[in-house]
Amino acid sequence: MKKNKLLVSTLAIIFSSMVLAPTSGIKVFADTADINVSVDSTSDKQAISPYIYGTNQDFSNAKVTARRIGGNRSTGYNWENNASNAGTDYKNESDNYWLTLYDVPKDQSDVPASTYTTFHDKSLAMGVPYTLATVQAGGYVAADKDGTTVTDPAPSSRWKKVAFNKNGPLSLTPDTTDDTVYMDEFVNSLVNKYGSASGKTGIKGYSLDNEPALWPTTHPLIHPNKTTCAEVLDKDTELSKTVKKVDPAAETFGPALYGFAAFSNFQSAPDWDSVKGSYQWFIDYYLDNMKKNSDAAGKRLLDVLDLHWYPEAKGGGQRITTSDTSNVDCNKARMQAPRSLWDSTYVEDSWIGQWNKWALPLVPKVKASIDKYNPGTKLSFSEYNYGGENHISGGIAQADALGAFGKTGVYFASYWECENNNNNYVQSAFNLYNNYDGNNSKYGDTNIKCDTSDINNSSTYASLTSNNGKRMDLIVMNKNYTDAINFNFNVNSSEKYTSGDVWGFDSNSSNITKRDSISSISGNKFTYKIPALTAVHIVLNADSKKGDLNGDGTVNGRDLMLLRQYLAGKTSDVDLSAADINNDGVVNGKDLMELVKLISQQ
Topology at the third CATH level for domain 33-46+446-542: Immunoglobulin-like (2.60.40)
Amino acid letter for position 426? V
Regarding predicted confidence, which is higher, 184 or 600? Answer: 184
Q: Quick check: 298 and 232 in contact, CB under 8 A?
A: no
pTM of the model: 0.87
* Pairing assessment for the beta strands 534-541 and 468-478 based on DSSP bridges: antiparallel
Say whether pLDDT at 21 is over 50. no
Degrees (nearest 5) of the Cα angle 43, 64, 41?
A: 10
pLDDT computed for residue 545 by the predictor = 62
**pLDDT of amino acid 18:** 34
Q: What is the pLDDT of residues 338-360, one digit of tens each?
A: 999 999 999 999 999 999 999 99
Q: Who contacts 155 (Cβ-Cβ below 8 Å, separation ≥6)?
A: 140, 161, 179
| 211 noted as active-site residue | yes
Q: What is the pLDDT of residues 369-423, one digit of tens each?
A: 999 999 999 999 999 999 999 999 999 999 999 999 999 999 999 999 999 889 9
Predicted pLDDT of residue 17 = 35
Range with the poorest average pLDDT among 28-32, 132-136, 342-346, 491-495: 28-32
C-alpha–C-alpha distance, residues 112 and 128, integer Å = 23
Burial of 5 (0-12, 13-18, 19+ CB in 10 A): exposed
The β-bridge partners of 24 are none
Residue count of the chain: 602
Residue 170 one-letter amino acid? L
Across the range 112-140, mean pLDDT stands at: 98
> Do the Cβ atoms of 45 and 447 come closer than 8 Å?
yes
What are the domain boundaries of the chain? 33-46+446-542, 49-434, 557-601
Catalytic residue among 211, 231, 251, 389: 211
Element spanning 206, H or E: strand 205-208
Q: Which fold has domain 49-434?
A: TIM Barrel (3.20.20)
Q: Is 15 exposed, middle or buried (0-12, 13-18, 19+ CB in 10 A)?
A: exposed
pLDDT at 572: 77
Collapsed DSSP state (helix, strand, coil) of residue 532: coil
> Could you tell me how far CA 468 lies from the centroid of its own chain?
23
Whether 16 shows a pLDDT value over 50: the answer reads no
pLDDT at residue 28, as a whole number:
38
Contacts made by residues 240-244, CB under 8 angstroms, sequence distance 24+ = 240/208, 240/301, 240/302, 241/164, 241/297, 241/301, 242/164, 242/165, 242/183, 242/184, 242/187, 243/135, 243/183, 243/187, 243/206, 244/299, 244/301
309 Cβ neighbours under 8 A, 6+ residues apart: 259, 362, 381, 383, 384
Nearest by Cα to 111 from 201, 172, 67: 172
Given its phi and psi angles, is residue 209 left (phi above 0), alpha (psi -120 to 50 degrees) or beta?
left
The alpha carbons of the chain give a radius of gyration, in whole angstroms, of 28
In this predicted structure, the answer to whether residue 29 has a pLDDT above a threshold of 50 is no
- Percent of the chain whose predicted confidence (pLDDT) is above 70: 93
Residue 554 pLDDT class (50, 70, 90 cuts): confident
Q: What is the pLDDT of residue 597?
A: 85
